[in-house]
Amino acid sequence: MNRLFKMDNGKLLWEYDSEKVRIEAWGENGLRVRVTKNMAFDETQNWALLNADQNLMIPEIHIHDTNAVIRNGKIKAVVSNNGKITFFNQKDEVLLEEYMRTRVLEDFKEETTIGENLNPEFCSALMVTAREFKPILGGDYALTMRFESHKDEKLYGMGQYQQEFLNLKGCTLELAQRNSQASVPFLMSNVGYGFLWNNPAIGEVNFSKNVTQWKAHTTKELDYWITAGDTPDEIEQAYASVTGKVPMMPDYAMGFWQCKLRYRTQEELLNVAREYKKRNLPLSVIVIDYFHWTNQGDWKFDKEYWPDVEGMVEELKEMGIELMVSIWPTVEARSENYQEMIQKGLLIRTERGIRPQFLYKGNSAIIDATNPHTREYVWSKVKKNYYDKGIKTFWLDEAEPEYEAYDFDNYRYYLGPNVQIGNIYPSKYAQMLYEGMEKEGQENIINLLRCAWAGSQRYGALVWSGDIHSSFRSMRNQLAAGLNMGIAGIPWWTTDIGGFHGGDPNDESFRECFVRWFEYATFCPVMRLHGFREPITPPVAPDKLGGGLCETGADNEIWSYGEEAYPILTKFLLLRERMKPYIKEQMKKAHEKGIPPMRPLFYDFPEDKKAWEIEDEYLFGSGILVAPVLYEGAASRKVYLPTGAKWTHAFTKETFEGGSSIECKTTLDTIPVFIKDDSEFLGIF
């Protein structure tokens, strides 16, 4: 009998010296792998994973002389006697295997090859282990997890990084949250597997040519989940089933959102809404940005500038417009809630130095959203001062959270040190309002956040790409970011149309960028106009606390961009309105199955090898292919049309067979958009 393995309630266990490995079925075609060198596994946290119904998953487990095997549906793990794990699909093809370069241990010499799956060339004097737990003096472990690298493998997902690359093979990614960076550590491989690094520690991942390495700077144990699937859609749905799906998007959220930094007064905001209605332009949501409050951490309106919130909400609703309001997690030392929150331990602690963690317009600490008592406390303030006044959707800004200095080892949360669990913060921040709103009986909850982690989607998180630059280069980065966010399981995603930082509406060059961005945003899950436009207007009351303390940007409505742009923007705004029935179909699929509305070509055409190479086009739902214009002054662009379908240009009505590349003209008032197989939705264009 093999003394290294045992079965325990449907789980396969391997143990040698201080290392314990546990593999169990988790969801359809999925396995969860945990490894620890502590006395026992931590049973208190599933992190991104939902609780698994073990009654629905009865894996096959077999223990042999040289290895042990656990199979759950289409995925199989083979664990050699030396602890090396290799994953196979149902065709017995290798999906992923641990990287191990060690000599044969004395205990295993009898088995010679140490299991049929261990290549003898990997028996090496290098002494590099797949799972390296490096002890931290007096604490936990620095963890490195190594896998063999497929040199031709393509990898997608991992959240939002400010770079142009859709295929992440060869990239090094920081596993940390920053303004405009959202680490969501799920990836999809063209080899046929999905992989979740189920660990919220700060770290990095290297998808190198010679080895794949995941690192956590400090952690208690190794935890990951893997699934096998025949198609990208099957992999994505399996992932959504174990981490959660978005609610059904409310109808109003599928239209056009108007925002700027920043509407300063109630009358200023209402006048913008009235102007949209006067011009017969559809408007679904209008947004009140930051510093509408008294102090950061008071979570209430400054009545000097917002004297009748209930009346404002009522007038907007009569116009068919939903009001969204920004709140921040920052609490100024002069806030009416600061001392109570300090006393109750509701704020993030600083390991070294003084307490302030954010210095914009005051010395502020940040709420500890990982603490359930904090979530209850802040929700009580938000409910009283916003929700009970009729505001039912929120902008949860600063969601990373944003620190004055990203010294991740200098902050401690309720759940542990930031460096060990900090990446989960945006998910807990989303959970804070979601659960409060849910208790009030609200359904179809949606809140806007600047960051996410794996599982954030189940809390109604709509993620936008942060405070990005206003340029074509930045726009190109957003295309890759949005597609990889969708693959990473965050189907609700958007950008600031035109970018956030800079951009003068009177600058002809920026106007072109803005129009192209607006056209692209028409085919994003949410179409939202925002930005800090130039020239900047000084504060109305710079020496006074409250709503007059902050500056504002130039006008940022669709009529702000000149006579040439206005009819083009109106054209696409009205197109978005006509697309609502189509968008609703896609949002239903996201809610019920976890299918991202915005996705790479390979998602629907996995058999088309060329589709895996295309990084500057995407599918918006199952029937629309979008090829944004991403370069200034472009008179045309090349478009690849996937094989296996017939494609009709939405604007010229020309029809093309799939499997070919064509050159499309790109006048300022159109972008290449193609409808699959003469879809019924061709008529909306």
Residue-level pLDDT at 359 = 95
Burial of 388 (0-12, 13-18, 19+ CB in 10 A): exposed
Mean pLDDT of 21-28: 97
Mean pLDDT of 247-251: 98
Q: How far apart are CA 125 and CA 290, in angstroms?
A: 59
CB atoms within 10 A of CB 577: 17
Question: Comparing C-alpha atoms, which of 497, 555, 478 is closest to residue 261?
Answer: 555
Q: Is 467 a catalytic residue?
A: yes
Could you give the 3-state DSSP secondary structure of residue 283? coil
pLDDT(281) > 50: yes
Each residue's pLDDT tens digit, 360-381: 999 999 999 999 999 999 999 9
Confidence of residue 63 (pLDDT cuts 50, 70, 90): very high
Marked catalytic residue, from 234, 400, 616, 617: 400
Torsion of CA 280, 286, 292, 298, to 10 degrees: 150
The CA–CA distances, whole Å, from 151 to 148, 190, 212, 561 equal: 9, 12, 10, 48
Marked catalytic residue, from 397, 512, 608, 617: 397
pLDDT(480) > 70: yes
Q: Is 251 a catalytic residue?
A: no
Q: Is 397 a catalytic residue?
A: yes
Specify the amino acid at residue 563.
Answer: E
pLDDT above 90 coverage of the chain, percent = 92
Could you give the 3-state DSSP secondary structure of residue 534? coil
Mean pLDDT of 611-625: 97
Torsion of CA 272, 274, 280, 283, to 10 degrees: 60
Mean pLDDT of 284-307: 97
The CA–CA distances, whole Å, from 184 to 50, 174, 429, 451 equal: 16, 11, 15, 9
**CB contact burial 283-320 (16+ within 10 A = b; e otherwise):** bbbbbbbbbbbbbbbbbbbbeebbeebeebbebbeeee
DSSP state, residue 667 = -
Mean pLDDT of 439-443: 98
Q: Which residue has the tokens 């061709």?
A: 682
Tokens of 617: 């086009």
pTM reported for the whole predicted model: 0.96
Per the CB < 8 A criterion, the answer to whether 240 and 594 are in contact is yes
Each residue's pLDDT tens digit, 540-583: 898 888 889 999 999 999 999 999 999 999 999 999 999 999 99
Q: How far apart are CA 184 and CA 404, in angstroms?
A: 22
Marked catalytic residue, from 298, 467, 604, 608: 467
Give the count of alpha carbons within 13 A of 357, CB side only: 26
Tokens of 451: 């960051």
DSSP state, residue 27 = S
Tokens of 567: 């009819």
Mean model confidence pLDDT for the chain: 95
DSSP state, residue 523 = T
pLDDT above 70 coverage of the chain, percent = 96
Each residue's pLDDT tens digit, 486-504: 999 999 999 999 999 989 9
Q: Which residue has the tokens 């949209």?
A: 276
Burial of 567 (0-12, 13-18, 19+ CB in 10 A): exposed
Q: How far apart are CA 302 and CA 293, in angstroms?
A: 5
Tell me the domains of the chain and their CATH numbers: 5-243 (2.60.40.1760), 251-328+370-593 (3.20.20.80), 600-684 (2.60.40.1180)
Confidence of residue 54 (pLDDT cuts 50, 70, 90): low
pLDDT(295) > 90: yes
Q: How far apart are CA 585 and CA 521, in angstroms?
A: 18
H helix or E strand, kind and range, residue 487: helix 472-487
Q: How far apart are CA 189 and CA 87, in angstroms?
A: 13
